[in-house]
């Protein structure tokens, strides 16, 4: 069995359908305007890659000049919860199961990241990886330390690797656009609330908030599998 080490945040498409994702020793802070909000990014903690200190993709640090709190800042019992669904995975798969089922048989990867909610619990920012078809005999492992330094700008309509070419381009674009639309209109979360009672912006960085499962399609039926699957 082959083994593929996948940095979950290896390549992102932003909510503008293109993204600038920077990896480097001295990454600059960046600012993005989206849907009426000004989002300022700061860099994640560095990881060691081939003996060098490298930085993963930036995460939202401020919205409209106000601090973005990480979900881990709050007690586990008071962290934001999506209304009406167990989590983002349950929501997205319910909305997109039929779309995934239209793919050729195989194992697919598409993930979300950088989910950020406003003071009312509305999702106001997100990133996601392009839809990618994996080899049938590949074992997936999430390992951020294996990410290579890179700078990429990607488009929904353009294949990025050989795995992309195995997906009909029109279908790939349709599914990625569907994911984008579902994220735009996803249900509210409960608001992140400080002990003082103040509502704040919140970065939902934990795996439980993100779509991080793989999608396996067989005979036009899609199901979710863990990234560590071995069958």
Query: Three-state DSSP class for 171?
Result: helix
Total domains in the fold of the chain: 1
Q: 42: domain range?
A: 2-225
Q: Note whether 202 and 192 are within 8 A (CB).
A: yes
Give the span between the Cα atoms of 34 and 32, in whole angstroms.
Answer: 6
User: Looking at the domain assignment, is residue 79 inside a domain?
Assistant: yes
pLDDT of residue 49: 54
Residue numbers in the chain where pLDDT is lower than 70: 1-29, 43-57, 135-165, 227-231
Mind spelling out the 3-state secondary structure of 64-104? CCEEEEEHHHCCHHHCCCECCCCCHHHHHHHHHHHHHHCCC
| pTM for the full predicted model | 0.73
User: Looking at the domain assignment, is residue 231 inside a domain?
Assistant: no
User: Looking at the domain assignment, is residue 157 inside a domain?
Assistant: yes
Q: If phi over 0 gives left and psi between -120 and 50 gives alpha, with beta otherwise, what is residue 125?
A: beta
User: Looking at the domain assignment, is residue 230 inside a domain?
Assistant: no
């Amino acid at each position: 069995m082959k083994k593929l080490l996948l940095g979950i945040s290896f390549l992102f498409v932003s909510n503008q359908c293109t993204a600038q994702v920077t990896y480097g020793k001295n990454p600059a802070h960046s600012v993005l305007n989206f849907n009426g909000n000004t989002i300022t990014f700061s860099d994640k903690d560095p990881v060691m890659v081939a003996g060098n200190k490298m930085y993963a993709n930036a995460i939202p640090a401020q919205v409209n000049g106000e601090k973005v709190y990480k979900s881990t800042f709050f007690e586990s019992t008071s962290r934001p919860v999506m209304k009406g669904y167990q989590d983002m995975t349950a929501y997205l798969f319910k909305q997109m199961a039929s779309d995934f089922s239209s793919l050729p048989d195989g194992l697919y990867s598409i993930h979300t990241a950088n989910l950020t909610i406003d003071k009312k619990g509305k999702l106001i920012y997100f990133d996601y990886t392009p839809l990618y078809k994996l080899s049938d005999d590949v074992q997936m492992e999430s390992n951020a330390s294996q990410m290579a330094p890179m700078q990429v700008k990607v488009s929904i309509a353009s294949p990025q690797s050989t795995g992309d070419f195995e997906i009909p381009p029109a279908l790939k674009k349709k599914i990625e656009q569907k994911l984008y639309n579902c994220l735009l209109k996803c249900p509210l979360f409960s608001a992140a609330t400080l002990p003082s009672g103040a509502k704040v912006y919140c970065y939902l960085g934990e795996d439980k908030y993100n779509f991080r499962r793989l999608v396996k399609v067989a005979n036009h039926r899609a199901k979710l599998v863990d990234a560590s699957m071995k069958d």
